[in-house]
Chains A and B, each alone.
Chain A
Amino acid sequence: MSDKRLTFKKRLHILKHHYRDKKMAPAFNAIHTFLFSPDDTTHSGAHVRGADDLKRTMNMVIMALIPVLLFSMFNAGYQYYAAIDVANNVSREFSLWENFLTWDNFWIGIIKVLPLVVVSYGVGLLVEFIFAIIKGHEVEEGYLVTGMLVPLIVPIDTPLWMLAVAVVFGVVIGKEVFGGTGMNILNPALTIRAFLFFAYPTWMSGDKVWVYQAVERTGTPDAISGETVLGALAQNHLAELNYSVSDMFFGFIPGSVGETSTFLILLGGLFLIYTKIASWRIMVSAVIGSLVMGYIFNLVVDLGVISEASNFYGLMSFEYWKHLLVGGLAFGIVYMATDPVTGSQTNNGKWIYGFFIGFMSVMIRVFNPAYPEGVFLAILLMNVFAPTIDHYVVKANINKRLKRFKNATILPKDSDSRAEELKAETI
C-alpha cells in the first residue's frame, strides 16, 4: 500500500467526520465505503449474520455473475448475426473462436447490454441515495446484486426508459416501502421483471424481443426472428427447434440477456455454494422439483392422454431434464431463489421452498402458454409463502421436542448405577 493511498483514505475519513450529521452524510459514506472497508459490520436487518459484512457477501454474488454477463455480451452479437444468416438462408456452423468470441459480437454486447447495466445501477442507486437521505440512514448495499441481476433477466431490446421506470417501481414498492434492504418480502429484481412483464408485455414476450434489432426490422425485407426455445414449444412449433442439447447447455440460444448459459450459471452456483453465500438446499430441491414436475408431464404424454394437437403438447412432451437447460429456470434457481432475505430461513423450510419453486415453474410453463417462462412467477409466489413455511417448520420442531420431552425418562436424583445407565441412554 503506497503512502498516497493512505493519505487519500485519511482524507476521506476526515471528510467523513466533517460531513457527519449533515444531510448529505449517507450519500458520502456510501461512496466512501464502496472504496474502503468500513470499520463496522452489518448490525440490522433480518440477514444471516456472518463475520463478513453485507457488502462483501454481495460482491461474491457479483463475482459469480460476471462470467454470465460477459457471456451474454458475446451471445447478444452471436444471436444477432445468426438470425441474419437464417433470414438470408445462409447455413451457419458454430465455432467458438471464429464466430462466437469475436469483437463484432462483443461490440453488440457493449452497445446493448452495457447500457442496461448502467441504467439499472444508475437509477436504482439514485433511488437508494434519495431514500437514505430522506430517512437519514446509511445507503444500503441491497441494490448491488439487484442492479446486476436486473439487466440479465430482461430481453436485450428492452427500451432503457422502461427499465428505468421498472427499477424505480421495483426498488420503491418492492423494497423501500417495507423498510429497505433485509425487510423486503419480494425479491426486488423479480419485482422489476414482473412489473415489466405486466406493464409492457409486448416487449417481454413473443418471438421478436430476444434478438437485437428484431423488433425494428419487423415488416421490412431484412426481418429477423429469434424465438426462444420455450416460446417455440409453447406454440407447438416443434419443427423450428434446431438447437442441440449442447447449444442449450452452453447457452448459444436466444433468451433474456443472461439466462441462456446453463453451464456458466452452474459454475456460478458451485462458486456460491463453495463460498457458502447461497443455500445448496434450495438449489438442489428446486432442481428436484422441476425434474419431478417435468417427469409427471412426460408420463402424461406417454399415457397418450394428450393429443398432438393439444396446446400443451409441445411443452409437455419436452424431456423433463431439458427444462433446466432452457429459459430462466437455472438462472432463477441459482441467483434468485437463493436470495437470503426473501427465501426460507430454516433448513427444512428451504427444501420445501425450493421444491415448490421448481415444481411450479415447470407447471406454469406448461399450463399457461401466455407465460412461457414461469420461474419468476413461481419464485415471487414462494417468496410470499416463505414466512408461512418457516412458521410451520419451527412449529413442527417445537412439537417434536415437546413430545420428546414428555416421553423422556425422568432421571432419579441420586446417582445409582441405574440412573447412570438411563442418563447415558437418554443423552
Chain B
Amino acid sequence: MALLSKKDANLIKDPLADNNPITIQVLGICSALAITAELKASVVMAVSVLFVLGMGNVAISLLRNIIPSKIRIIVQLIVVATLVIIVDQVLKAFAYELSKTLSVFVGLIITNCIIMGRFEAFALGNGPWRSFLDGIGNALGYGIILVIVGFFRELLGSGTLFGFPVLGNPIDKTGLYAFGYENNGFMIIPPAALIVVGIIIWVQRSRNKALIEDN
C-alpha cells in the first residue's frame, strides 16, 4: 500500500509545480525578495516556514470546529505568532549570526500571505492529516523557489554557495576570476530577486501553457 493516497500525494505535489504559492499564486513575494541574497538564509527561511506552516495547519485544523468564525483571524494570528516566536528563539539560540541576517524577516513570517492563506483556505475545512500535508506541500513549494533564487543570486552575486567560494577567490584572482570574471553586484540587490522570480515564472509558463491566464 502506498504511503499516501493519490489525493493526498497531490496535496504535496501540486504546490511544488503547477500551483506554486510564489510563481502561480504570487504570494509571499516580499520575503522571497528580501532574504534570498544568500543560499543559507534561503534554506533557513524555507525550513522555518515549513515548520510554521506544517504545525500551524495542524493546530488550526484541530481547532477548526471550536473557533468562532467571527474571530478566526485573531486565533490564526495567535497560532502563527506562537510558532514564529519559537522559530525566532531557536534561531537566536543556535544560529545567532544567521538570525541577524534574516533580521525582521523571521518575525515577518507572521504576515507571510501563504500562511494565512493556507489556514483560511485549507486548514479550516479539512482534517489534521490532510492539513499537515497541505502545509508541508505549500511550504516546500515556497522553499524550492527560495532555494532556486538564492542559488542563482549567491552564485552570480558573490561567487559562493553556502558561503563556500565555488568560483575561486576574487581577491587572489584564482579560478574563474583569473580570466577576468567578476561578481555581479546587481544580483545582490533585491530587484535582482524580482527578475529571477520573473524568469522562473516565464520558464514555468512557457513549459505549461495551461498556466497562462488569459485576460
Contact = CB atoms under 8 A, between A and B. Distances in A.
B180 interface: yes
Interface string B192-203: 000100100010
Interface residue range, chain B: 10 to 19
Contacts of A165: 184
A198 B189 contact: yes
B125 interface: no
B129 interface: no
B175 interface: no
Contacts of B18: none
Nearest to A172: B199
B187 A199 contact: yes
B180 A198 contact: no
Contacts of A195: 186
B182 interface: yes
Contacts of A200: 182, 184-185
A199 B202 contact: no
Contacts of B181: 161
Given A159-B180, A161-B180, A177 B202 contact: yes
Nearest to B182: A200
A179 interface: no
A201 interface: yes
A270 interface: no
A199 B198 CA distance: 18
Interface in B130-172: none
Interface in A157-187: 159, 161-162, 165, 173, 177
Contacts of A161: 180-181
A161 B181 CA distance: 8
A402 B181 CA distance: 61
Interface in A186-223: 195, 198-203
- Per DSSP, chain B at the interface is helix
B49 to A, nearest CB: 28
A198 B187 CA distance: 9
B132 to A, nearest CB: 38
Given A159-B180, A161-B180, A177-B202, A201 B185 contact: yes
Interface string A121-163: 0000000000000000000000000000000000000010110
A162 B182 contact: yes
A165 B181 CA distance: 11
Interface residue range, chain A: 10 to 19
Given A159-B180, A161-B180, A177-B202, A199 B195 contact: no
Contact of A198 (B182, B185, B198): B185
Contacts of B184: 165, 199-200
Q: Quick one: which of B184, B198, B202 has the most chain A CB within 10 A?
A: B184
Contacts of B185: 198-201
B136 to A, nearest CB: 33
Contacts of B180: 159, 161
Contacts of A202: 182
Nearest to B199: A173
Nearest to B206: A134
A144 to B, nearest CB: 26
Contacts of B182: 159, 162, 200, 202-203
Contacts of A199: 184-187
Nearest to A160: B180
A203 B182 CA distance: 10
Nearest to A159: B180
Contacts of B186: 195, 198-199
Nearest to B186: A199
Q: Quick one: which of A162, A198, A201 has the most chain B CB within 10 A?
A: A198
Contacts of B189: 198
A161 B177 CA distance: 13
Contacts of A162: 182
A367 B114 CA distance: 40
A173 B187 contact: no
A356 to B, nearest CB: 22
A200 B182 CA distance: 8
A333 to B, nearest CB: 26
Q: Quick one: which of B181, B186, B198, B202 has the most chain A CB within 10 A?
A: B186
Nearest to A200: B182
B173 to A, nearest CB: 13
9 contacts: A159-B180, A159-B182, A161-B181, A165-B184, A177-B198, A198-B186, A199-B184, A200-B184, A203-B182
Interface of B: 180-182, 184-187, 189, 195, 198, 202
Of all A-B residue pairs in the complex, the 8 with the closest CB atoms, nearest first, are: A199-B186, A198-B186, A199-B184, A199-B185, A200-B182, A159-B180, A201-B185, A198-B185
Given A173-B198, A199-B187, 11 more contacts: A162-B182, A177-B202, A195-B186, A198-B185, A198-B186, A199-B184, A199-B185, A200-B182, A200-B184, A200-B185, A203-B182
